[in-house]
């Protein structure tokens, strides 16, 4: 029974980290990153489709994305979807491909992005701590129902804390890496 609580808690904490990574992939650095377009949905023959499924996205230069649609008739739809996605990107359509130039970030903008990254990381840590609290409450319930002893409860709580510390540490590492990328000139 306690093992299922550990497994479920670790799985939920892992999902929190995956969500953080996904959110951080949308944060723009000074470099062109196809990941910023992951959330862009294009109306392709009336069906909302992810941009990556209807076009090839490449990074020929450090600050340039090139989007080449598989179907050239969808160029206008792709351009419109990028503008509507509110990513502060300016798509340039030349009739065959769409180019997106990533201007260098200003120092002030970099600092704002670092603040956002820290807030995202803190939100993830709060989620992880809430999961820890749920796990501890489940263990206390098992002890109250006489499934585990008081000593086992203490041992399990220590194990829960170690799991929590490991995931909080991973959160810090992920956030620091993204901060370094944003502050890199």
Query: 38 versus 93: which is more confidently predicted?
Result: 93
What pLDDT does 120 receive? 94
- The answer, yes or no, to whether residue 185 has pLDDT greater than 70, is no
Structure confidence at residue 182 (pLDDT): 84
- Least Cα distance to 9 among 172, 159, 121, 122 occurs for 159
CATH fold label, 2-25+106-183: Topoisomerase I; Chain A, domain 4 (1.10.132)
Confidence of residue 175 (pLDDT cuts 50, 70, 90): very high
Q: Which residue has the higher pLDDT, 85 or 171?
A: 171
126: pLDDT strictly greater than 90: yes
- Short-list 24, 42, 39, CA closest to 98: 42
Exposure letters 160-175 (e unless 16+ CB within 10 A, then b)? beebbeebbebbeebb
**What are the phi and psi torsion angles at 139 (to 5°)?**
-65, -40
Domain 34-101 class?
alpha beta
Q: For the residues 150-173, what does the mean pLDDT come to?
A: 94
Instruction: Output the pLDDT for position 104.
Output: 77
Evaluate if residue 22 carries a pLDDT over 80: yes
What pLDDT score was predicted for residue 135? 94
What is the pLDDT confidence band of residue 84, given thresholds at 50, 70 and 90?
A: confident
In the predicted model, what is the mean pLDDT of residues 81-109? 85
Helix, strand, or coil (residue 102): coil
DSSP for 26-69?
Answer: TS--SS--GGGGTT-EEEETTEEEEHHHHEEEEEEETTEEEEEE
CB 122 within 8 A of CB 24: no
Average pLDDT value over all residues in the chain: 89
- In terms of Cβ atoms closer than 10 Å to its own Cβ (0-12, 13-18, 19+), residue 117 is buried
Q: In this prediction, what percent of the chain has a pLDDT beyond 70?
A: 99
Cβ burial of 124 (10 Å; 0-12, 13-18, 19+) is buried
Domain borders along the chain are 2-25+106-183, 34-101
Angle separating helix axes 2-25 and 150-183, nearest 10 degrees: 10
């Amino acid at each position: 029974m306690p093992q299922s609580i550990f497994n479920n808690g670790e799985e939920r904490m892992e999902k929190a980290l995956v969500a953080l990574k996904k959110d951080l992939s949308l944060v723009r650095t000074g470099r062109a990153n196809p990941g910023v377009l992951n959330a862009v949905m294009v109306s392709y023959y009336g069906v909302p489709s992810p941009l990556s499924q209807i076009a090839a996205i490449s990074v020929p230069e450090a600050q340039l994305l090139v989007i080449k649609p598989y179907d050239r008739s969808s160029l206008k739809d792709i351009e419109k979807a990028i503008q509507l996605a509110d990513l502060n990107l300016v798509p340039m359509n030349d009739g065959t491909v769409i180019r997106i130039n990533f201007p260098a970030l200003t120092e002030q903008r970099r600092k704002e992005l670092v603040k956002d990254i820290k807030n995202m990381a803190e939100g993830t840590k709060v989620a992880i701590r809430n999961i820890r609290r749920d796990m501890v409450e489940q263990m206390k319930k098992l002890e109250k129902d006489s499934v585990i002893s008081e000593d086992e409860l203490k041992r399990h709580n220590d194990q829960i804390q170690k799991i929590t510390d490991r995931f909080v540490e991973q959160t810090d590492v992920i956030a620091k890496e993204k901060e370094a990328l944003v502050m890199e000139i």
